[in-house]
Amino acid sequence: MKILVMVAIGGAIGAVARQQSNQLIMRIWGGEFPIGTIFVNIFGSFIMGLLFELFTSKITISYEWRTLIFTGVLASFTTFSSFALDVALLTERNEYFSAAIYIGGSVILSIGFLFLGLWAMRGVLS
């Protein structure tokens, strides 16, 4: 139960941070291009890399706090950071084929299934 509470707290923090960051970036840049989403994905991935290395190399923190930070805050701030970390871990283990399958499968299938969901719902609603 404690882990779920940590994820929920971190998730709330990350979701609010994402929304506020996105709004700020869109006010600064304007336009229709989703620059706010790109910003949070890049920034979140950078922070994920910094903290992952810090917590595996120099600082020991509990599983609960790691869960709050990585699964809660950062994964709700940007799920792309979790994706990027998975790719990095696969490539650092020299599992290049698995990394390529993971990248291609995640990107292509996610976009494809989003379109499938749009098509299915449009069929239901029409």
d(CA 58, CA 48): 15
- The pLDDT assigned to 91 comes to 96
d(CA 40, CA 118): 25
Kindly report the pTM of this predicted structure: 0.74
d(CA 62, CA 79): 22
d(CA 56, CA 85): 13
Domain boundaries, the chain: 2-93, 95-126
- The pLDDT assigned to 35 comes to 85
- The pLDDT assigned to 66 comes to 94
- The pLDDT assigned to 106 comes to 87
- The pLDDT assigned to 63 comes to 93
Q: What's 50's DSSP letter?
A: H
- The pLDDT assigned to 110 comes to 86
Q: What is the mean pLDDT of each run of 10 residues along the chain (126 residues)?
A: 95 95 90 82 89 90 94 89 87 95 90 90 91
User: What phi, psi does 104 have (nearest 5°)?
Assistant: -60, -45
